[in-house]
Structures are given as C-alpha cells and as structure tokens.
Structure 1
Amino acid sequence: MVAYVIIPGIDGSDDRHWQSRWERAWGEAAVRIAPGSWTRPELRDWVAAVQTAYDVAVARGGRAEGGADGRVALVTHSLGCWAAAEWLAWARPAEVTAFLAAPPDPRGPAFPGTAAPTFLELSARPLPGPALVVASEDDPYADPTASAALASGWRAPWHSVGAHGHLNSASGLGDWPVGRELLDTLVGS
C-alpha cells in the first residue's frame, strides 16, 4: 500500500487542482499538510507540517522505519517541492518517494520572495530516495533550464510535460492523467 502526503504551494491547492482531485480519489490513503503559514510561508512551519503529515500517513499504512506494510509518496507542487526537499534532507526517511511538480526557482525573477523569504536561500541538494521533477516548458516560476538544474541538484530525473504553465488549476489539467501515470511509475504501482 502507498500512503500519499499532499504538499501544495502557497495557499494550498483549490478544489480544481490536480492535487485536490487525486487526494479525493485516494481518500484515507492521502494526508495534506496543514502549515499555519499558508499565505506567508515559513520554511520551519512547512517542514514541521510535512513531518506531521508523514506521521499520519505512516499511521494509516505507509511504511514506518523498519515496517513492511507500505510506502509513502510525497506529492508536491510549487513551493511544496522545497518544503518536501528540505524535510527529506533533515528527516532522511526510508522508503519515501518524491513527486516534485513545478518547483519554482528561488533565484528566478518571478519567485514570491516577499511572501516566502525563508525559502529564498535554498539550493537543491541530493535527495535520499527516488524522486522525479515534472516541469512545464512555459512555467513562469522556472524555465526549463532552471527546473532541469533543480532536478540535477536533487539527483532526480527531469520530465517535461509540454507547455502547461505552472501545472496548477489555471493550467486546466483536470485529473491530470499524465501526471498520475508518472507518479504511478515512480512509486511502482
């Protein structure tokens, strides 16, 4: 069994967002982070929220350290990619995969630095487990060169899904079957 930790970007993901649609489809197998700083993200708060959601996911059937019943997959979008990467670097959990969709470039001109100043100095470091960076060719928060560089820093494969903006609700992806197929391949479902 796979337990999913949903890690959206600033302000969470609305009901039309693919993350919310997947979360509804997964039911109890999915846990969404709940930081206290959705609108003005604080890195420590978001990392702590990832830990809390991970603990709930493990209790619901994801693999605990040394357990044998399942795995945990982090399903991230935008700024949530950075919260997940920082949590992975700190917690170094076993048997956790990371699906990193549309990570923003903290050094890019569109990065929301005034809203998320504690995320500005982050850099991509190798992740401790399997991961995949999924990017759009016309993402205003990270061009293909920047998102491929992030993938390289995280030691994760980079996959372009064409021109779909920031891979958010405005992108009109609906249930985003292409993303779901990529995630399923990553977790081995």
Structure 2
Amino acid sequence: MFAATLLRVTRFLLVPGRGVPFGNHWSRQWARRRGFTWAPEPPGTPVMFADRVAALQSVLVSSEEPAVLVAHSAGCLTVAHWAREHAGPVVAALLVTPPLVEDAPRERLPFRSLLVVSRDDPQCSFEDGVAYATAWGGEVIDAGPVGHLDSSSGFGPWPDGEKLLARLAAE
C-alpha cells in the first residue's frame, strides 16, 4: 500500500542524524526501497553541518526531479541549514524528532513540512519541538510518547510515518 500511494513524487532523500542508524531503524528499512536515497550517507563519525549541507546539496542538484526530504534527529537541522543557504527541487519535508540545539536555524522553510514531535523525547521537549515547527512554518504531528523515534525507542517499522510520507508526496 505504501508504494501505491506515492503518486506525484518518486524521489525521497533520507537525511540522517549524527550516527549510523541500526539495521532495524525505520530509515534503514525505507532506504532499501526504490526511490529512496541517503543524502548524505549516514556518517560513521560526527561531521560538521557544513559537510552535511554540501552533501545534501550535491544529491539535490544531481536531478531536477522534485524531492521530498525525510530527516531524523540532527538531519532535521541539516535540512534547516540547507534551506537557509540553498534552493532546489524540494517540495516537502518530513522532519522527525529534531534535537534541541540553541543555535539551530529558525527561519521559515520554503516548502511544506510536517514536524513529528514526541511527548517524551530525551533530546527535545514537546514544547521545543512545537517551537521548531512554528519557526519553520511546519505542521506539528504529535506522535505521543515515542522517545526519539529510533531503534532504542522500539522503532523498526513505522507505519504511521509511512502514512505521513504518503500524505506529503500526494499533496
């Protein structure tokens, strides 16, 4: 059902957080699907946002095809940094549990976004997640008590995320 609902956009760029997601992490599972590409590949060690932004820009300019960004954790901040400096064929973004970083970009994103916020994320309070969504011009998705929405929080498969992505791709 997931693939059948993705009608308008066929390019999905997965923007990882700081580390390499475990094999059962939802983003790793999505990366194995046709049309999904890491942008950049998950890092093995922390790298500067400038390097991540440059890698995302490189993948984005490799095609004029519209893209939906799917970012987790620090990947959300990579997207915000990218949007501050670049423009491109991004039509929407699914931003999942960004960590609280005081100097994170707070400018409105130039594309639609859904920001998934957890009620008990150890890296960002619900209120701070809502503040990000407000600053970025995104819609808040209250995910409930899902931790950081990663493997250690019990997320391998994430069917609700698939529904959100299908919604973004079809709009």
Q: Work out whether the TM-score is over 0.5.
A: yes
Q: 1:35–1:45: 8 Å Cα contact kept in structure 2?
A: no
Cα–Cα, structure 1 residues 36 and 137, in superposed 2: closer, same or farther, change >3 Å?
closer
Letter in 1 for 2:29: R
In structure 2, how many angstroms separate the alpha carbons of the residues matched to 1:48 and 1:33? 10
Letter in 2 for 1:134: V
Deviation digits for residues 19-46 of structure 1 (CA, Å, limit 9, x no counterpart): 111111x22x111123696422201101
Number of the residue aligned with 2:4: none
Tell me which of 30, 37, 40 is aligned to 1:31.
37
In structure 1, how many angstroms separate the alpha carbons of the residues matched to 2:164 and 2:145? 17
Q: 2:97–2:118: 8 Å Cα contact kept in structure 1?
A: yes
Unaligned stretches of 5+ in structure 2? Answer: 1-8
Deviation digits for residues 64-103 of structure 1 (CA, Å, limit 9, x no counterpart): 1xxxxx5201110000001011112211224421110001
2:122 counterpart of 1:140:
yes
In structure 2, how many angstroms separate the alpha carbons of the residues matched to 1:123 and 1:52? 21
TM-score using structure 1 length? 0.80
Q: Find runs of 4+ consecutive structure 1 residues off by over 3 angstroms.
A: 34-38
2:30 counterpart of 1:22:
yes
Tell me which of 79, 86, 107 is aligned to 1:84.
79
TM-score using structure 2 length? 0.87
Letter in 1 for 2:147: G
Unaligned stretches of 5+ in structure 1? Answer: 59-63, 65-69, 108-120
Identity %: 31
Letter in 1 for 2:48: E
Number of the residue aligned with 1:152: 134
In structure 2, how many angstroms separate the alpha carbons of the residues matched to 1:78 and 1:7? 9
In structure 2, how many angstroms separate the alpha carbons of the residues matched to 1:174 and 1:123? 29
In structure 2, how many angstroms separate the alpha carbons of the residues matched to 1:36 and 1:134? 20
Deviation digits for residues 137-162 of structure 1 (CA, Å, limit 9, x no counterpart): 10011111000000000010111111
In structure 2, how many angstroms separate the alpha carbons of the residues matched to 1:173 and 1:37? 20
Number of the residue aligned with 2:98: 103
Aligned residue for 1:187, secondary structure, equals: helix
Number of the residue aligned with 1:114: none
Q: 1:13–1:20: 8 Å Cα contact kept in structure 2?
A: yes
Q: CA RMSD in A?
A: 1.8
Matched residues, number? 163
Cα–Cα, structure 1 residues 172 and 37, in superposed 2: closer, same or farther, change >3 Å?
closer
In structure 2, how many angstroms separate the alpha carbons of the residues matched to 1:149 and 1:139? 15
